[in-house]
Structure 1
Amino acid sequence: MVNKPFVPRQLPFGLDVIDQMTFINELIDANSNVTKYQTLLNSSPIDSQLLLHPVILNEAVQSTKIEGTQVTLDEVLEVEADERQNNKDTQEVFNYHRAIIEGKIQLSSIPISTRLFKFLHAVLMSNEVRGSNRSPGEYRKIQNFIGPPGCTIKTANFVPPEPQLVDNYMKNLEEYINDPSDNLNPLIRAAIIHAQFETIHPFLDGNGRIGRILIPLYLYNHNVIDYPNLFISDTLEKDKHKYYGYLNDTRYKDDWNQWIKFFLNCIAEQSKKNIKFIEEVNDLYKQDLQRVKSIINAHSASSIFDSIFKMPVFKVKHIANMTKLSEPTCRRILSRLEDEKIIFSNQRPRSKTYYYYSLLDKLR
């Protein structure tokens, strides 16, 4: 029955559970496009660090949106630029962004493990966001359940395992992540690990977001990608009811093949989007950098433009801080770029906020 705590399979699965031939084409497509995306990113004339900040913020927006948070990328960037007051929704996005960055840093000294999961959860639930009073950084000690607002455990869509079993299930997951005894492709394992994490649902809140952060961290940690920058929340948000439906089918129908096929399709689709994005952004960077150099005609042109690329909603003080130029110099240069319609401002007489819409349009 749905209203009883679920008992997950232990990992790794037997050969009777997964039939790789049912999703072999999807696996080939996903691997091919991930490789193409990484190759294109590494050969880009743009320093990947310039794009990581707004791209990861956009991932944070999409991932929190799946959980019902109503915030846009523009709003988040405006908070960062001191143009808009911070609130719980935007703070959730900043927490998610910080969890990804600090998760990568932690991987240099600790494996993907209970210690890392609890660390990421504490970051995610910091700064008094929703759920910050629900045992941040600790596995749950009480029964939880998943369903529409107002549902009870008897009417829930899914009831995760009993709380006293969480530690054992997470230990099994941790062992599978770090020392798998199967011969599955890492992308297939990523699909299994994500679904198993969501099924165990070890925290009282934030499980979906931690589970989605786990995907790029796992792929990065296992050398599938060069940086934890392959995010599928945008694709999952578009098909979120299919996402939840296939997850539930792994539980109540033991249908892992359909879930893995769906997951691989998401990886391939997002990689293709990323490829298109990188190609378009490469063209934009080359084109607008030349325009900026022709307008400014100074050695600071590249550093000014790189700063705008990294922070497409900004004030003079942000550019001055990133370039180490004086604020009057930055103000004069930005005024010229605005005159040439490369950037736009809110036209305030003091403390203007500038927008680099050419990049924002591609990020949205």
Structure 2
Amino acid sequence: MDAAEFSLNAPGQVIPIATQGASTVAFLPDPLPPEIPVNRHLLRAVETARAALAEFVGESRLVEDISLVTNPLQWMEAVATNRIEGTHTEMSDVLLQKAAGPSSDPTRVSSNLEVLRSLEALEAGASWISEGRPLSLAMIREMQSLLLRDARGGETLRGRFRSSQAYIGNRAQGPASARYVPPPYEHIEAAMDNFIRYVSGEPTYSVLVDCAIQHYQFEAVHPFEDGNGRVGRLLIPLHLLAQGAIERPNLYLSAYFVEHEDEYFDLLKGVSTRGLWEEWIVLFLEAIRVTAGRSRQRVRRLLELGDIYRLRVREATRSQVALAAIDLIVRQPVVTTSQVKDHAKSSYPAAKTAMESLANLGIVNRLDSRMYRQQAWVAGQLIDEIYDV
């Protein structure tokens, strides 16, 4: 990283360092809050994002079973946030591993586990906030620890702030050519103490603007050896939940950031190098606006498909087990016969017959694969229209 990249507007200190036998610079962001001029352009972006979010929250209240809102959106987030980090998985593969157990392909199992651990970390953080506990460093460490539960060598990195210099870039080229070098590790404790005071206090600007600021700050400090991007993006809905901007952890921006990945990373760095706060915040607010609208559409379509499937079943059969299976499938689009049996409180043969009838109706497909431990049934239309990133 070159010191010449940083203008006088850079909101922090450029610190000369020597690491891995090379001389370069690191960046230490200033303590929060920053001074950001508020103009009409920014205010319009705030109001537009707030209105879209309010519509999504309002419609979500009308859904009796809140899992129909949260489940698909959480799965999308888990897949998308890992995709940003270079772990490319198919939604159907991850859902299959969750429902039917690991496949016989170790590479696929490992990638899917990263997604599943992201889901666990998000659920742990949401439970923490739902219990009335504030955002805290302990919660952040716990989430990072869950993310790295299956990582090779992760035991020494889990739940601890880093104790060495990190850099973001091509490992083969070394830190001098890094895209970004976060602050030396001895600054992390103070930076994270300031960070947690900011996110758990009263809003400085507005909840949505503060959320954009805290996401930048977390990524700039880069407190962990691994998992910073994923933890930072999982903190977005948790911050909004803790501040009362949303009522459930159901607004996830990673899919938008996947679509605008270059702009996302360029503006995160642009804040550090040139103080591009307004440009970054406007992008973040646009991510909220677009995501809230898309989430509303996905939930509406999920409810619509559930009604369509129930109507097909009622027209074709009197099976109450088949209807109960539909209730399960709209919550999780990959199921096993055993899961249907348990959900419907039926016998195994009755559950199997019900799923075969759903297959005949084109609602599910049977996956006859020796790669998984159990036979699974896949609702492909639900995955394609509702779950896929």
Q: 1:29 aligns with which of 27, 48, 68?
A: 48
Pairing 1:125–2:148 present: yes
Residue of structure 2 equivalent to 1:87: 109
Residue of structure 2 equivalent to 1:175: 197
Q: Deviations over 1:59-106 (max 9, x none)?
A: 101100000002110110111232634622111101000011111112
Distance in 2 (CA, whole Å) between partners of 1:131 and 1:295 is 54
CA 1:69–1:351 in 2, change beyond 3 Å: closer, same or farther?
A: closer
Pairing 1:60–2:78 present: yes
TM-score (norm: length of structure 1):
0.93
Aligned 8 A contact 1:63 1:233 in 2: yes
Residue of structure 2 equivalent to 1:335: 356
TM-aligned CA deviation for residue 21 of structure 1: 2.6
Letter in 1 for 2:197: E
Pairing 1:215–2:236 present: yes
Q: 2:255 aligns with which of 226, 230, 234?
A: 234
Aligned 8 A contact 1:51 1:310 in 2: no
**1:202-351 alignment, distance < 5 Å:** 202-347=223-368
> Greater strand percent: which structure?
2
Aligned 8 A contact 1:134 1:205 in 2: no
Moved more, 227-236 or 292-301: 292-301
Distance in 2 (CA, whole Å) between partners of 1:7 and 1:355 is 48
**1:141-180 alignment, distance < 5 Å:** 141-180=163-202
Residue of structure 2 equivalent to 1:6: 27
CA 1:66–1:213 in 2, change beyond 3 Å: closer, same or farther?
A: same
Distance in 2 (CA, whole Å) between partners of 1:248 and 1:134 is 29
Q: 1:195 aligns with which of 216, 229, 232?
A: 216
Pairing 1:71–2:97 present: no
TM-aligned CA deviation for residue 304 of structure 1: 1.9
Distance in 1 (CA, whole Å) between partners of 2:84 and 2:188 is 24
Residue of structure 1 equivalent to 2:14: none
Residue of structure 2 equivalent to 1:18: 37
Residue of structure 1 equivalent to 2:67: 49
Moved more, 161-170 or 146-155: 146-155
Aligned 8 A contact 1:62 1:234 in 2: yes
Number of equivalences = 359
Q: Deviations over 1:219-256 (max 9, x none)?
A: 11111111111001001011111101000111010111
TM-score (norm: length of structure 2):
0.87
Aligned 8 A contact 1:40 1:278 in 2: no
Distance in 2 (CA, whole Å) between partners of 1:293 and 1:148 is 57
Distance in 2 (CA, whole Å) between partners of 1:55 and 1:81 is 18
Structure 1 unmatched runs, 5+: none
Aligned 8 A contact 1:198 1:208 in 2: yes
Distance in 2 (CA, whole Å) between partners of 1:133 and 1:188 is 35
Letter in 2 for 1:254: G
Distance in 2 (CA, whole Å) between partners of 1:356 and 1:295 is 18
Aligned 8 A contact 2:69 2:250 in 1: no
Moved more, 27-36 or 100-109: 100-109
Equivalent pairs: percent with the same residue? Answer: 25
